[in-house]
Amino acid sequence: MIFSKSVILNAPIDQVFTFCASADGFDQHFPQPIDWIDKGEPWQQGSIFRFKYRFLFIWWYWEGEITNYEKNSYFSDISKTGGGLKYFQHKHEFNPCEQGTLYTDKIEFTSGLGRWIDQLIVNQIIAFIFAKRHKNLCQYFASSSNYEN
């Protein structure tokens, strides 16, 4: 399955990229409190980060690796232990726009339990999480402009 969500942030790309491509920025816009095991800083290609968070009363452990990184353009991470998912690849894209930065999350995922489960349950959970993340980004950058696709 592929999930994509975009938001327009009222800030230049370098500020948005620096914020999103750091453990501290990630911590500030992630919808649940994070307990860091290893922040993997500075984030760059090959960096590995580990954390846990509570969602639906369950502690989820996450280990990710930055697999691609082009400053002020995009970075990608892949889950090595995906909080219950069999596969999770996340690309963060940053593009200039008139209002500042068009930020897009593109997620390719599977639970390993079949397309129906991915479509009816997992996609909805991911949509909920990323709606909250984008809301947090808008609040951080004092932007109320949203663009959804």
Strand partners, 52: 35, 61
Judged on CB neighbours under 10 Å (0-12, 13-18, 19+), 12 is middle
**Sequence spans of domains, the chain:** 2-140
**At a CB cut-off of 8 Å and minimum separation 6, what does 117 contact?**
111
Q: How confident is the model at residue 54 (pLDDT cuts 50, 70, 90)?
A: confident
Q: 65 pLDDT exceeds 90?
A: yes
Determine the average pLDDT of the residues in 38-63.
90
- Identify the CATH assignment for 2-140 out of 3.40.47.10, 3.30.530.20, 3.30.450.40, 3.40.50.12160: 3.30.530.20
pTM for this model (two decimals): 0.90
Q: How far apart are CA 109 and CA 105, in angstroms?
A: 13
Strand partners, 4: 106
Q: Looking at residue 147, what is its pLDDT?
A: 47
Judged on CB neighbours under 10 Å (0-12, 13-18, 19+), 58 is exposed
Q: How far apart are CA 145 and CA 131, in angstroms?
A: 13
Q: 86 pLDDT exceeds 60?
A: yes
**Share above pLDDT 70 across residues of the chain, in percent, rounded to a whole number:** 94
Q: Looking at residue 14, what is its pLDDT?
A: 95
